[in-house]
Chains A and B, each alone.
Chain A
């Protein structure tokens, strides 16, 4: 039973990342009709916003320590971060320690800006083109973005720890009646799950309870009619592209303590998230979230030794197997709307 509960927690955690990326993919597809294969790259750029924040906070002055030597036997150059000079050792170290959460403040404007530039500069020219063209150009864009990140940050994973207070793990089992040390779960993964729930809730609330969101939803349902009413729906959709980029970006920022960022991380998530979108139903926001969590949990269960001993390799194919079954039985996905990608 304890193993099942841990895998459910794992599944919710993985599902959080899938759901956040799939949510952004669906927002872009639902509003602009674009299949954005560069969305995984936006997740990756978000992760590198966290790396950038770490680098900014550790920008240092250099002094020579004549008593120590470097690997070549020369006097050692000692780096002292500016924040330590400015705020003292304790406060400075604490600020650096919180680099990952602080990176959200950097990621939101950066990602919105990147989203704007992507949409206005490239993707808008492909609105009326076939989905195959859109996939090709956005996939190419993803590779370009990857290479840019690799040029500046290298190919090696970069350690990006969570704040010290969240580095341990919670004895989750004692909260639900198990003996101590039976169900241990990392604090940061629980933080990530809670964070995802807040972001997903926030996006839904924004679309549901604001005038802007209402217009966007109306535009998603019937773009032409909204345009006839004199509303500049294109401008709002551009803003939604920026919002979707920001959602992917903050999802990437908060994921770095779980997965040390490297330039290729977006591709791994993109393929799975695209399957999530298809399973959830193209254009359906609740479908994307539901499918994200569902497939995350299924993938975790399929990784259990007991399951793998029955069906070797099932952990590698479960998501695609479920996608095939759902698309055979419900061609529009779990919550897909009629008419989307059917014309």
Chain B
């Protein structure tokens, strides 16, 4: 009778370790045959478009999806090619990507971080996507970017404006083309100074989450640098609906400017209600009371109707720009869908093309090769003038638009007018600027 050398405790420990290894999600491990996560093996390669298709930002998400679909068509050689005709890089020739036809799957983030992570994870695990693009909220973008970093997938952020996305939450596998709150402040402040003077008292109402906090911080810093004072900063719950309780104290606060750090339906409601409370008819400190909405979107402008007239804000891009890239994209999009694209659609379209271009130039789908091809990329012809994808933080630097609600719009699409194209030099900053510190890109993760 032989005596076993395995104790019960040892068997249990071995079993537990084996079980844990088997249970470990496959997205965090590459198969032995692959050099990186979801290496394409057939004649197609799949992109994942993770956008809000239900919930408060659904309209914006659906517009992003239209643009993403258009970008895939252009990469595959369908349609008129859009911005591929004006893009300074000529690596994409309309025959797919590295001999493979591009397909895509979509996920509905519902603008909820947990749902967005779940849909992204499903796209990575079940659909084998090689890249994820999309989003209409910074909270969602930060969450999905973190997941993509862990999984070894490239994340090409959609609409995300918080400084944190390429600041404290920056990741080596994540890239942002959209501008950020710091840039909004840097572009807006001089225009506000010219329009309203250097002696103003500002009252901030701010959405209580990452984007609102960083936008408030940025706008406070840029307006105080002008000489303005900040009388109060009040956090408001996201989705508050009725903001009257927050607007009423503004009336006799001594402030003569109200800055609404709100987005989407919150901005529509807070601006509408502020106008109803007569703020824009008020005279305070011998000046006309003004309202500023630092971040605009076309859909918000449509929702706010006439209340937006004369109100300043900023945008990443607008269809009314006259450069060749913008006109090519607007023509493609407008012919296909019957209306001009939003700036959310534009950034997703550009990000999809930029990713594909980087793959073509790198000659590989390996996320680390793609990341290297994107870092410090200089390009033009995509609607914002000469642009750099800065390698230090994966943030695009380009011109920023200062907008104003049109006084007499001629259609449903020109409710905003371009006041100024702020040159990119004015919105640039050091990667270690205090508003962007606290995080590090880390190492690119190929998932191997």
Chain A residues with a Cβ under 8 A of chain B: 2-3, 6-7, 10, 13-14, 68, 70-72, 76, 150, 154-159, 161, 167-169, 181-182, 184-186, 188-189, 257-260, 262, 264-265, 268, 299-300, 303-305, 308, 315-316
For the complex with contacts A161-B305, A184-B282, 18 further pairs of A-B residues with Cβ separation under 8 Å are A3-B252, A71-B330, A72-B335, A76-B411, A150-B58, A155-B58, A156-B299, A157-B268, A159-B307, A169-B276, A184-B277, A189-B244, A259-B242, A260-B303, A262-B56, A265-B241, A304-B245, A304-B249
Q: Which residues of A contact B306 (CB under 8 A)?
A: 159, 161
Please provide the chain B residues from 154 to 193 with a CB less than 8 Å away from any CB of chain A in the complex. none
* CA distance in complex: A287, B39 (Å): 64
Query: Is there an interface contact between B340 and A71, defined as CB atoms closer than 8 Å?
Result: yes
* CA distance in complex: A257, B242 (Å): 11
Q: Is B79 an interface residue (CB 8 A)?
A: no
Query: Is there an interface contact between B252 and A186, defined as CB atoms closer than 8 Å?
Result: no
> What's the A-B contact tally at a CB cutoff of 8 Å?
116
Query: Is there an interface contact between B55 and A155, defined as CB atoms closer than 8 Å?
Result: yes
Q: Which residues of A contact B54 (CB under 8 A)?
A: 150, 155
Q: Which residues of A contact B251 (CB under 8 A)?
A: 6, 184
Query: Is there an interface contact between A157 and B244, defined as CB atoms closer than 8 Å?
Result: no
Q: Which residues of B contact A300 (CB under 8 A)?
A: 244-245
Q: Which residues of B contact A156 (CB under 8 A)?
A: 59, 265, 299, 302-303
The answer to whether A262 and B234 touch (CB under 8 A), given A7-B245, A68-B410, A315-B245, is: no
Q: Name A3's contact: one of B241, B248, B305 (CB within 8 Å).
A: B248
Query: Is there an interface contact between A259 and B59, defined as CB atoms closer than 8 Å?
Result: no
Q: Name A259's contact: one of B55, B252, B269, B413 (CB within 8 Å).
A: B269
* CA distance in complex: A155, B51 (Å): 14
In the assembled complex, the CB of B232 is this many whole angstroms from the nearest CB of chain A, namely 7
* CA distance in complex: A316, B304 (Å): 25
Q: Is B103 an interface residue (CB 8 A)?
A: no
In the assembled complex, the CB of B91 is this many whole angstroms from the nearest CB of chain A, namely 29
Query: Is there an interface contact between B411 and A169, defined as CB atoms closer than 8 Å?
Result: no
Q: Is B15 an interface residue (CB 8 A)?
A: no
Q: Which residues of B contact A167 (CB under 8 A)?
A: 276
User: In the complex, what residue of chain A is closest to B283 when comparing beta carbons?
Assistant: A181
- Tell me what chain B mostly uses at the interface: helix, strand, loop, or mixed: helix
Can you list 24 A-B contacts (CB < 8 A)?
A3-B252, A6-B248, A10-B244, A70-B411, A71-B330, A71-B339, A150-B58, A154-B58, A155-B55, A155-B58, A155-B59, A159-B268, A159-B304, A161-B305, A161-B306, A169-B281, A184-B251, A186-B276, A186-B277, A189-B276, A258-B242, A260-B304, A299-B245, A300-B245
The answer to whether A154 and B252 touch (CB under 8 A), given A168-B278, A258-B242, is: no
The answer to whether A71 and B413 touch (CB under 8 A), given A154-B59, A157-B303, A258-B273, is: yes
* CA distance in complex: A233, B234 (Å): 53
The answer to whether A303 and B245 touch (CB under 8 A), given A161-B306, A262-B265, A268-B239, is: yes
* CA distance in complex: A110, B56 (Å): 26
Mask: chain B, 268-304; 1 = CB below 8 Å from A; 0 = not: 1100110011100110000000000000000100111
Q: Is B398 an interface residue (CB 8 A)?
A: no
Query: Is there an interface contact between B56 and A155, defined as CB atoms closer than 8 Å?
Result: yes
The answer to whether A316 and B245 touch (CB under 8 A), given A72-B335, A155-B58, is: no
Q: Name A10's contact: one of B56, B248, B281, B335 (CB within 8 Å).
A: B248
Query: Is there an interface contact between B334 and A71, defined as CB atoms closer than 8 Å?
Result: yes
The answer to whether A260 and B278 touch (CB under 8 A), given A150-B58, A155-B54, is: no
In the assembled complex, the CB of B411 is this many whole angstroms from the nearest CB of chain A, namely 7
* CA distance in complex: A71, B332 (Å): 12
Q: Which of B244, B302, B410 has the most CB atoms of chain A within a 10 A radius of its CB? A: B244
Q: Which residues of A contact B237 (CB under 8 A)?
A: 315-316
Query: Is there an interface contact between A188 and B276, defined as CB atoms closer than 8 Å?
Result: yes
Q: Which residues of A contact B411 (CB under 8 A)?
A: 70-71, 76
Q: Is B319 an interface residue (CB 8 A)?
A: yes
* CA distance in complex: A265, B56 (Å): 10
Q: Which residues of A contact B281 (CB under 8 A)?
A: 168-169
* CA distance in complex: A316, B208 (Å): 12
Q: Which residues of B contact A304 (CB under 8 A)?
A: 245, 249
7 closest A-B pairs by beta carbon, nearest first, are A159-B305, A303-B245, A155-B58, A169-B278, A186-B276, A157-B303, A156-B59
Q: Which residues of B contact A76 (CB under 8 A)?
A: 411
* CA distance in complex: A265, B266 (Å): 12
In the assembled complex, the CB of B85 is this many whole angstroms from the nearest CB of chain A, namely 17
Q: Is B331 an interface residue (CB 8 A)?
A: yes
Q: Which residues of B contact A303 (CB under 8 A)?
A: 245-246
Q: Which of B276, B304, B411 has the most CB atoms of chain A within a 10 A radius of its CB? A: B276
Q: Which of B59, B239, B278 has the most CB atoms of chain A within a 10 A radius of its CB? A: B278
* CA distance in complex: A305, B254 (Å): 14
Query: Is there an interface contact between A186 and B249, defined as CB atoms closer than 8 Å?
Result: no
Q: Which residues of A contact B413 (CB under 8 A)?
A: 71
Q: Which residues of B contact A150 (CB under 8 A)?
A: 54, 58
Q: Which residues of A contact B232 (CB under 8 A)?
A: 305
* CA distance in complex: A258, B252 (Å): 21
Query: Is there an interface contact between A268 and B248, defined as CB atoms closer than 8 Å?
Result: no
* CA distance in complex: A157, B340 (Å): 19
Q: Name A14's contact: one of B58, B242, B339 (CB within 8 Å).
A: B242
Q: Which residues of A contact B410 (CB under 8 A)?
A: 68
* CA distance in complex: A299, B335 (Å): 49
Q: Which residues of B contact A2 (CB under 8 A)?
A: 252
